[in-house]
A and B are shown apart, each in its own frame.
Chain A
Amino acid sequence: DIQLTQSPSFLSASVGDRVTITCRASQGISSYLAWYQQKPGTAPKLLIYAASTLQSGVPARFSGSGSGTEFTLTLNNLQPEDFATYYCQQLSRYPRTFGQGTKVEIK
Chain B
Amino acid sequence: QVPLVESGGGVVQPGGSLRLSCVASGFAFSGFGMHWVRQAPGKGLEWVAFIRFDGFYKFYADSVKGRFTTSRDNSNNTLYLQMSSLTSEDTAVYYCAKDQLRYDPEAFDIWGQGTMVTVSS
Contact = CB atoms under 8 A, between A and B. Distances in A.
B45 A87 contact: yes
Contacts of A19: none
B47 A96 contact: yes
A28 B114 CA distance: 31
Given A46-B107, A95-B62, A87 B50 contact: no
Nearest to A32: B105
B59 A44 contact: no
Given A49-B100, A50-B106, A95-B62, A44 B111 contact: yes
Nearest to B45: A98
Contact of B107 (A34, A100, A101): A34
B109 interface: yes
Contact of A46 (B35, B44, B62, B108): B108
Interface residues of B, number: 21
A44 B107 CA distance: 12
Nearest to A45: B111
B111 to A, nearest CB: 4
Contacts, number: 62
Interface residues of A, number: 25
Contact of B109 (A38, A46, A50): A46
Interface string A78-107: 000000000101011011111111000000
A98 B46 contact: yes
A55 interface: yes
Interface string B70-108: 000000000000000000000000010000100001111
Interface of B: 35, 37, 44-47, 50, 59, 61-62, 95, 100, 105-109, 111-114
Interface of A: 1, 32, 34, 36, 38, 42-46, 49-50, 55, 87, 89, 91-92, 94-101
